[in-house]
Amino acid sequence: MATAHSRALSRLMISPAVILLLLWMIVPLAMTLWFSTQRYNLLNPANTGFVGFDNYYYFVTNAAFWTSIWNTIALVGGVLIITVFGGIALALLLDQPFFGQGLVRIMVIAPFFVMPTVSALVWQNMFMDPVNGFFAHVARAIGLTPFDFLAHAPLASIILIVAWQWLPFATLILLTALQSLDREQQEAAEMDGANRLQRFVYLTLPHLTRAITVVILIQTIFLLSVYAEILVTTNGGPGTATTTLTYLVYVQSLLNYDVGAGSAGGIIAVILANIVAIFLMRMIGKNLDA
């Protein structure tokens, strides 16, 4: 008797969230899809018309497109490699007993809370600057020529900056997972004569698999849309050396005013992100049953 009533009530409680998210997802995405098939340049807004897949063709055959795909893969891959391996090593270290655990944890997690524009500018100016940066001072002190990081290794520099922001995240999640490890099992294995490496490979690593997968998937989602770090440091340059797909869409639509081609790029970005998302959703969905 209460069920019909309470079911109506819960529907009422859920609907605002559902309706808003539906609007948020469908309206702009439908518009992007529509624009992507239109000739639409903000500098010449009168000249519009249906062009089919021309915008996609134009965007994909643009010389910068494949560079941007490669840069995106290098950025996401580079940051993932550094943060996952670094994160595992750090988590294993911090999981041991040592003095001052609270303070160390606080210092390690801090970069994650630094806003992207701050970390990008601080690294660019105070550390990587070839004249006054910290690295330049150190290089001169030991008799080396200072290296202009953002001019000669721009993508690697941005990977370093972004990895610095995400290493704490990976470490924290892996550490949390490590702490739920079954100690008795470890001790039993130790008594049975398993050495440190064997215990790590056969006990710790399988236990961490899930956390590692989650780290990779969630970071990929965020890393695919890295934007502020590129905007304030290199503006996608020199040339297109640090232009990622996200950044190329921004350049195409808001700097070149070509809404049609920019939208086509946006749709391509959505498709790529969704491929990653499907795996992530499957992981989290599994957890929902447990």
Q: What is the closest distance, in whole angstroms, from the C-beta atom of residue 205 to another protein in the complex?
A: 16
**DSSP character string of 119-155:** HHHHIIIIIS-TTTSHHHHHHHHTTPPPP-HHHHSHH
Does position 98 interact with another protein (CB under 8 A)? The reply is: yes
Span interacting with another protein, options 52-60, 145-153, 193-201, 228-236, rule CB under 8 A:
228-236
Identified binder of another protein from the candidate list 61, 96, 145, 195, rule CB under 8 A: 96
How far is residue 275's CA from residue 269's CA, in Å, rounded to a whole number? 10
Does position 218 interact with another protein (CB under 8 A)? The reply is: yes
Handedness of CA 9, 14, 19, 20 (dihedral sign): positive
Inter-residue contact 156 to 162 (CB < 8 Å): no
Does position 250 interact with another protein (CB under 8 A)? The reply is: yes
Which is nearer to another protein, 155 or 217 (by Cβ)? 217
Q: What is the closest distance, in whole angstroms, from the C-beta atom of residue 63 to another protein in the complex?
A: 20
Site string for another protein, 1-30 (x = CB under 8 A): -----xx-xxx-xx-xxx-xx--xx-xxx-
Does position 80 interact with another protein (CB under 8 A)? The reply is: no
Does position 166 interact with another protein (CB under 8 A)? The reply is: no
Which is nearer to another protein, 154 or 265 (by Cβ)? 265
Does position 142 interact with another protein (CB under 8 A)? The reply is: no
Q: What is the closest distance, in whole angstroms, from the C-beta atom of residue 235 to another protein in the complex?
A: 9
Does position 144 interact with another protein (CB under 8 A)? The reply is: no
Q: Tell which residue, 228, 225, 231, has the closest CA to residue 270.
A: 225
E strands present in the chain: 38-39, 49-50
Does position 106 interact with another protein (CB under 8 A)? The reply is: yes
Buried b / exposed e over 268-289, threshold 16 CB at 10 Å, is: bbeeebeebeeebeeeeeeeee
